[in-house]
Amino acid sequence: MTPPSSTSDDTTSGLLAQLTTDEKIALLSGAGYWRTVGYPERGIAAFTLNDGPHGVRAVSADDHLGASNAATAVCFPTASALSCSWDTSLARAHGSALAAAARLADVDVVLGPAMNIKRTPLGGRNFEYFSEDPCLTGRLAAAVVSGVESGGVGASLKHFAVNNQEYDRFTISAEVDERALREIYLRGFEIAVTEGRPATVMSAYNAVNGVPCSENHRLLTGILREEWGFDGLVVSDWGAVQDRVTALRAGLDLEMPASQGLGAAAIGAALKSGELSEEDVDRAAARVVELAARFAREDRPEPVTTSEAELADIARTIAQQSIVLLRNERGTLPLKRTTAVALIGEFAENPRFQGGGSSNVQVASFTTARKEISRFLPSDQVLHARGCEGEEIDEALLDEAVEVAAQADVALLFVGLTEMTESEGFDRETLSLPASHLALIDRVSAVTPRTVVVLHKGSAVDIASWHDKADAILDLNLGGQEVAAAALDVIFGDVNPSGRTSETVPLRLEDTPAHLDYPGGLRRAHYRESIWVGYRYYDRRKMPVAYPFGHGLSYTDFAYADPRAVVHDDESVTVEVAVRNVGERDGFEVVQVYVHDDVSSVARPERELRGFSKIWIAAGESVTARIELDRRDFAFWDEHRDRWTIESGAFTIEIGSSSRDIRARVGVDLAGDAPTAEIIDRHTPVRYFLGDPEFAAVIEQFVSSYPMFGGDFDSLPPLARRIVTETINGMPLEKLRLVSGGAFSEDAIASAIARLTSLR
């Protein structure tokens, strides 16, 4: 969002000056469910906000969820699918297409993208979220926002912040330590805010460390505005505000939807009592007026297209580039066009392409595998069986599927999670596919020469229990209304698959980092796993997984060579690597750059994604991938100093095709900020002062002569010497004054602190 100029500030002040206090207060709450209050006769227009992140639902002002009377619109792939593209250019195109769809529906603000971290695969709304990793999440969300805003429409980043489960989502408090908060749960938002510059940010239903997000001054003002420089409007999630006065003071500008006058009455009463000032009201009202003026401008940017057919084409391209080929044994895919194919599963003719809840889009049409396969095979080479209906096993349908599969060269099994399994409003109870889908995989794979499992789901599922029964596994996620056409484009080789997993696929639910603490209780969810989320956890523990973060196969192969890293004066780093397509087909490769801190004073992950690049390489050709890293990419959140810190020393930059497929490494040395993360004070352990030669000499003299050691430290047995050394080294500096018999005075301790502090 473009920062307001002094001229726009003057215009806003002039418009506000026309309004009474009550009229300004009215601006701070919705006029209905989707529209703001406006005073068009005085030059203040109302504007419309609406879902969603994967397609626009234009509804009437009094419609709540919008499913009853929504106009049809194009349904794009969900964030869980888009994230598997690892393509910021594609994400920007997605945002531009959303803006075009919004303009067609007279919507001014699209409520998305949603960008919370996938803490647990059970999260019911995971299909709306990008990834378990904040770098991938933030870069893609920033690109979506940029695309939306370029089309003259506002984006609304949500749900700020730490909104990782649907269970008790209105009342739960996410109890999370500061380091995890900064490195995992806020980092993606920070990237999207500072790089994408959204018009609005939406506060979440939940609380963070006991403070509701809509009333959280530290989140909405201290971090979002003062640290990150956000200059837009903060809007509540629908119905999230509990205390309107506290929320306004915290930095929440617009309460949605209309609160039947309750919010306005509370603000008015607080003004009279002095709890709020007129300045508090004017500040929030100005942001509403500024955003309304932006949408009323005559030079509002035009959208990229006004054709729904073109938007559907974009949705198909996004789906194609987001499909992940997880497994492909014996070169099963792509299929030859002489193959007899059995299409099996209810998703073959009624695909699940979106999640349930507020993001649900009413579509005019959608593609199906049963229809689309006619582009590749004549009807006499295609057999079909429904196989199941719903989640319970139907023996008659199952028997029919087995009979059909036995007649084919290959079975395409379209399975996944049903709409009753994952949705906004509730979390999943298991990683397993429905019993009817598991039975299909088991029975069909036993009678057909080759089995291809085509997955429709919004988050990780249990693959391990049936993995070896499938010759190929194609993960579609929830790929929007064109996903069936895109899937067959990949299956028959018109498109070379290039998607990569955006979350780790675990072997068991019990292996997941948050398993012991999800979903919490007594209105608290304790994030005891801290920063160890997703691959950070699995890689640190060297734990086997079904498929690692960043994994995905292609119909060609790539070789990496000549890694280079150049450190610049500001300690940003340019990483380059030559990637050669050594196969016979053109295709995309996703180059992933991870950072490992070789020596750290705090526990850090084995590797952390810090950059990526999706590059097109023709068969036999070589392309140099270039990824820029900034200083923050080498930092951790220092809880002692309450800031980002880069420790001086060596870092290894790992370049690969997944978090567990590292193809090249290169080292860099950074000067950093400080040699250690410790606070230097009277309680700092002695070992942190031993780098000071003067202090170390006194310590050595003290240890060798102290009566407790008989005045002859060197004569002690080896174990005793080690115990003494470790005891002294770990002793707080303050303690030396008490045990040294005067060897360390108050002045000596103060001098040691001053010297070590000066070295920093």
What are the tens digits of pLDDT across the range 591-611? Answer: 999 999 999 989 999 999 999
CA max distance for the chain:
97
Q: Please, what is the average pLDDT of the chain?
A: 93
The H or E element spanning position 626 is: strand 622-629
pLDDT of residue 69: 63
| Percent of the chain whose pLDDT exceeds 90 | 82
Contacts of residue 548, defined as CB under 8 A and 6 or more positions apart, other chains included, come to 501, 504, 505, 535, 538, 539, 658, 659, 660, 661
Ordered by start, the domain boundaries in the chain are 20-296, 316-540, 558-670, 686-758
Q: What confidence tier does 641 reach under pLDDT thresholds 50, 70, 90?
A: confident
Nearest to 579 by CA among 622, 515, 608, 638: 622
As a whole number, mean pLDDT of residues 171-193 equals 98
Q: Are 552 and 321 in contact (CB under 8 A)?
A: no
Q: If we measure between CA atoms, which residue out of 311, 464, 471, 460 comes closest to residue 405?
A: 471
pLDDT of residue 1: 41
Calpha distance 259→160 (Å, rounded): 21
Closest to 493 (Cα-Cα) out of 657, 614, 332, 314:
332
- Residue 664, beta-bridge partner list: 655
Neighbours of 665 (CB within 10 A): 14
Tokens of 101: 């769809």
Tell whether omega for the bond before 161 is within 30 degrees of 0, i.e. cis.
yes
- Least Cα distance to 591 among 561, 566, 620, 568 occurs for 561
* Other CB atoms within 10 Å distance of the CB of residue 473: 26
Give the start-end residues of each E strand in 259-393. 324-328, 341-344, 382-385
Flag whether pLDDT at 707 surpasses 70: no
pLDDT value at position 7?
45
Res. 252: pLDDT tops 70: yes
Instruction: Tell how strand 109-110 and strand 154-160 pair up.
Output: parallel
Q: What pLDDT score was predicted for residue 684?
A: 84
Would you state the pLDDT for residue 254? Answer: 98
pLDDT at 689: 78
Calculate mean pLDDT across residues 115-126. Answer: 97
Residue % of the chain over a pLDDT of 70: 95
pLDDT band of residue 57 (cuts 50, 70, 90) is confident
Rounded average pLDDT over 702-710: 61
Q: What is the mean pLDDT of residues 501-509?
A: 98
Label residue 8 by pLDDT band (50, 70, 90).
low
The answer as to CATH 3.40.50.1700 being correct for domain 316-540 is yes
CATH architecture of 558-670: Sandwich (2.60)
What span, in angstroms and rounded, lies between the C-alpha atoms of 264 and 112? Answer: 27
Q: Which residue has the higher pLDDT, 736 or 638?
A: 638
Q: What pLDDT, on a 0 to 100 scale, did the predictor assign at position 378?
A: 97
What's the confidence (pLDDT) of residue 43? 93
Torsion of CA 162, 173, 509, 610, to 10 degrees: 20
Kindly state the DSSP code that residue 529 receives in the 8-state scheme: T
Mean local confidence (pLDDT), 531-555: 98
| DSSP-assigned states of every residue in 416-480 | E--TTTSBTTB--S-SSPPHHHHHHHHHHHTTSSEEEEEEE-SS----TTTGGG-SEEEE--S--
Model confidence at 677, pLDDT cuts 50, 70, 90, reads very low
- Chain CA centroid to CA 649, Å: 30
What's the topology of domain 20-296?
TIM Barrel (3.20.20)
Asked whether the beta carbons of 479 and 77 are under 8 A apart, the reply is yes
Per-residue pLDDT band for 61 (boundaries 50, 70, 90) equals low
pTM exceeds 0.85: yes
Residue in 87, 237, 462, 475 annotated catalytic: 237
Mean pLDDT on 518-534: 97
Predicted pLDDT of residue 388: 95
d(CA 599, CA 676): 10
Q: Is 231 a catalytic residue?
A: no
Give 303's pLDDT tier (boundaries 50, 70, 90).
confident
Q: Can you give the pLDDT at residue 450?
A: 98
Question: Which residue, chain included where needed, has tokens 């050594």?
Answer: 582
Q: Which two tokens stand for residue 8?
A: 């726009």
| pLDDT band of 97, cuts 50, 70, 90 | very high
Summarize the confidence of residues 85-90 as an average pLDDT. Answer: 98
Query: In the β-sheet with 233-236, what is the strand arrangement from edge to edge?
Result: 49-50, 109-110, 154-160, 200-203, 233-236
337 φ/ψ angles, rounded to the nearest 5 degrees:
-85, 10
Q: 713-726, pLDDT tens digit by residue?
A: 777 788 888 888 88
| pLDDT tens figures, 184-227 | 999 999 999 999 999 999 999 999 999 999 999 999 999 999 99
Tokens of 562: 């000549």
State pLDDT tens for residues 611-626.
999 999 999 999 999 9
**pLDDT above 80: residue 752:** no
Question: Would you say 80 and 128 are in contact if contact means Cβ atoms under 8 Å apart?
Answer: yes
More confident residue, 568 or 704: 568
pLDDT in tens, 490-502: 999 999 999 999 9
- CA–CA separation, 418 vs 413, rounded Å? 15
CA separation for the pair 469, 450 (Å, rounded): 9
Instruction: Report pLDDT for 728.
Output: 83
On the question of pLDDT at 278 being above 60, the answer is yes
Please determine, for residue 505, whether its predicted confidence score (pLDDT) is greater than 90: yes
Confidence of residue 60 (pLDDT cuts 50, 70, 90): low
pLDDT of 314 > 80? The answer is: yes
**Main-chain phi, psi angles of 543, to 5 degrees:** -90, 135
Q: What's the number of CA atoms in the CB half-sphere (13 Å) around residue 512?
A: 25
pLDDT in tens, 147-161: 999 999 999 999 999
